[in-house]
Copies of this chain bind each other. A is one copy, B any other.
Amino acid sequence: MPGMAKSPVLTPRSEDFPRWYQELVGKAELAENGPVRGTMVIRPYGYAIWERMQQGMDARIKDAGAQNAYFPLLIPQSYMTKEAEHVEGFSPELAVVTHGGGKELEEPAVIRPTSETIINDHFSRWIQSYRDLPLLINQWANVVRWEMRPRLFLRTSEFLWQEGHTAHATYEEARDFAARIHRRVYEDFMTEVLAIDVVPGRKTARERFAGALNTLTLEAMMGDGKALQMGTSHELGQNFARAFGTRYLSREGGREYVWQTSWGSTTRMVGAMVMAHGDDDGLRLPPRLAPVQAVVLAVKGDEAVLAKVREVTDALRAAGIRAQADDRTDTPFGRRAVDWELKGVPVRIEIGPRDLEREPEHGGTAMLVRRVRGGKEPVRADALPGLLPDLLEEEQGLLLRQSRELRESRTSDVRTIEEAAEAATAGGWARIPWSVLGPEGEEKLAERSVTVRCLVAEDGTVPETDDAPGNLAVVARAY
């Protein structure tokens, strides 16, 4: 209803960001809580977003040369203790199966919190010679890490993810592969498809994966200025190889331990979509990701309108656009429009009885509404299939630009630990020389719930060591 003030569907972000998030996830029908504490039901619309994330990531992972496989959900409890740092990192989060098939088990099994141990157990048998290397494996799976303060998508006791595990003949090959996943799989997908201006960097010793020599990360700024870790890629060195005895016969005839990597990204990315791009009206999906790129709404339920809605939807689909018709005219039009806004569909096309009468030589008109740029404009119906591809790409670019502008405007360069803490607690990021901060400063920040998200070089590249001259620490509060 033009001119009428809408009562807000969501608590405004500025008022209560966590509440806005929770309401959006519920009302956009992305997900809801499951009955066991910390578990999550991913509803069809939320799952369609995840499916498209899987497709985009899977194609890039396969391009990098990895093959998918599947390892068991259940791991003997004793496996978890084989690599010292690993057991320490995961013990408090394990779910333990003590009974199976009506009996108490001789050895309890844990539900995988990650699959390093069980995968290395098999790698140690599959890898005999240099001919078996590199071994590049990826798995799409569910994992369980018991969560005391759960939040849908962000921290759930069970989550979905991909986890990659590779073994290489040399340190350099492993390092390069971890970097390749970091930049050409994760960063490329997150900027090109998710339209999030992620920052690539390396984790400090304190923030590294349990058992890794080096962890590469991608950090994204959310709408409230906090950080969210979007994906990590680890150099595991020879730690797991030694723990599991994974050695290969080299060309020279020696028996060498392999060098390994692991890397993962999760359903957290769906939460990141919400918090990075959402506004007070709901989600805003980047068109390359959106399961529905354009929705065609029948304003009223008369036959001619419904026929036109179907015709336009078909024409858009024929033009390769993921279009959906909304002909549920027994629900008020205004409510449906608000609902599609909530769901973040990039383009809304509204067709009512009067549209059919206008410009009949062009198949009538339609009202075009763009979720990111905003504004309503009438367009000729027959022009839509030609217009939309470019228009969707414009919306895609606009979201990425807004993501970059948000991050740049809320990141400050500081020289003292106190300034860094203030910037982060005020809802932003700070960059501080690592030579100024150092591990002790990092501990001080941690007392104020501010962490080093990553180390970056001055020129924006990823440093090869923690202490490389000129390293900057990006610090923030984080999800």
A binding-site residues for B, Cβ under 8 Å: 32, 34-36, 39-44, 46-48, 50-51, 67-76, 79, 91-102, 109, 111, 118, 121-122, 131, 137, 141-142, 144, 146-148, 157-158, 160, 328, 330-331
Contacts and interface: CB of A to CB of B under 8 A. Distances in A.
Contact of A41 (B71, B91, B328): B71
A99 B92 contact: no
Contacts of A160: 70
B101 A36 contact: no
B118 A34 contact: yes
A146 B100 contact: yes
Nearest to A77: B36
A109 to B, nearest CB: 5
B331 A131 contact: yes
Given A100-B95, A131-B328, A331-B131, A158 B39 contact: no
Contact of A76 (B36, B73, B109): B36
Complex A-B, nearest 7 residue pairs according to Cβ-Cβ distance, in ascending order? A101-B146, A39-B72, A44-B67, A34-B72, A42-B70, A96-B99, A36-B74
A35 B100 CA distance: 15
- The complex is assembled from copies of this chain, and their number is 2
A333 B382 CA distance: 60
B68 A47 contact: yes
B73 A131 contact: no
Contacts of A146: 100-102
Contacts of A76: 35-36
B48 A67 contact: yes
Contacts of A39: 72-74
Contacts of A46: 69
A121 B51 CA distance: 24
A396 B326 CA distance: 41
B69 A44 contact: yes
B131 A41 contact: no
A102 B98 contact: no
Contact of A137 (B44, B101, B158): B44
Nearest to A29: B126
B35 A148 contact: no
A73 B144 contact: yes
Nearest to A131: B330
B95 A69 contact: no
Contacts of A47: 67-70
A97 B331 CA distance: 44
B69 A121 contact: no
A41 B95 contact: no
Contacts of A92: 101-102
A332 to B, nearest CB: 12
Contacts of A35: 72, 75-76, 79, 118, 121
